[in-house]
Amino acid sequence: MEKETRRPWRRWVVLALMIAGFILGGIFIPVQPEILVAPEKLIEEPLFENFFGTGPLYLVNTLPTLALTIILLVVISFFANLSLKHSAHTDLVPRGIGNLMEAILEILYNLTEGSAGEKYARMIFPWFATIMVYVLFANLLKLIPGFESIGVIHHAPQGQVGHAKELIGGHWYLFTSLKGEYILAPFLRGISVDLNFTFALAVISVVMIQVVGFRAQGFGYLSKFFNTKRMFKVPFFGAMDFLVGLLELISEFSKILSFAFRLFGNMFAGIVLVAIVAGLLGRISILPAMIMLFELFVGVIQAFVFGMLTMVFMAQATQGHGEEHAEAH
């Protein structure tokens, strides 16, 4: 058997990083961030006083992140398309980013085909892949250094304790550990920790589940929620079927809350966990970095769970319910 080569230098690298973090933590004293559920306003004046009759629209720090996410996805898609076109005109072997995206989409398509069958895979796959890739990208983007730590300094609201600041050059300031009157509104905040985003994505997901159900079964899909076929033949069991259908209807609406709060809760918990661990340990920086790795893992898992649940519910919507399912076989 081939003997494995030991690489003890990795331990020294970790030790050097720990020492450097300890020294830098003494020079730039870590400040406990403000943990807020709602996204922060970057400017106090609204962009629109009455946005389509819903009230004022403010520039919150999740809107730039939303725009940045879309732009980066378009850029990645553009270069992946160029790569695939180049390989199609040469040796038909995808390389680089085209190869990566083709591998990811092939895995997702095989998952869709395995759950929904070949007949409905093409109908479900675009929604499943789009939602999963978008949520995955949004979750990973917030782990970039500078997110939620560089932004605009505002005066703290009355009754709220802020931080003191010191000038580091130009119009750039650094918070100190002393109490003061200022708080930070980051330029960029992860969109997965904005309940507006997760709720909107959940509504899109649940609505498209119903659309797939209607496309697959027609108006017979409504029998899942309003089952009256045995109401007059067997009154007792017909009434039970009708009540079960109403429970199905309630469960469809509850999927919106389930989707939205699952993604929001897990990603927001990651922010809180990193902030608490960093605040408790202070200058010891290696453990918060390990927590960030854990948040990376959670971000990947939550994107997979959100996408897979959408795909599975869509696959279930294509199948007949009750007697219709038995007749189909």
Tell me the C-alpha distance between 125 and 122, whole Å.
5
How far are the Cα atoms of 79, 98, 101, 300 from residue 89, in angstroms, in the given order?
Answer: 15, 14, 18, 34
* Phi, psi of 85, deg, nearest 5: -65, -40
Average pLDDT of the chain to the nearest whole number: 81
Helices (H), the chain: 9-27, 62-88, 96-116, 118-141, 195-217, 235-281, 286-317, 323-328
What pTM did the predictor assign? 0.81
pLDDT at 323: 47
Are 126 and 134 spatial neighbours (Cβ–Cβ below 8 Å)? Answer: no
Q: Give the pLDDT confidence of 177-191 residue by residue, as tens digits.
A: 778 888 888 888 888
What average pLDDT does range 57-62 have in this prediction?
86
Q: Span 8-15, mean pLDDT?
A: 78
pLDDT digits (tens, 9 = 90+) for 145-170: 778 778 888 888 777 778 888 888 87
| Pairing of β 172-180 and β 162-169 | antiparallel
Which residue ranges make up each domain of the chain? Answer: 59-149+190-328, 151-186
- 1: tokens are 């058997």
Q: How far is CA 293 from CA 50, 144, 148, 269, 276, in A?
A: 42, 12, 17, 14, 15
Summarised one tens digit per residue, pLDDT across range 307-324 is: 999 999 999 888 865 544
* Confidence tier at 207 by pLDDT (50, 70, 90): very high
Residue 292: predicted pLDDT: 77
Which residues have C-beta within 8 Å of that of residue 139, sequence separation ≥ 6? 190, 192, 267, 299, 300, 302, 303
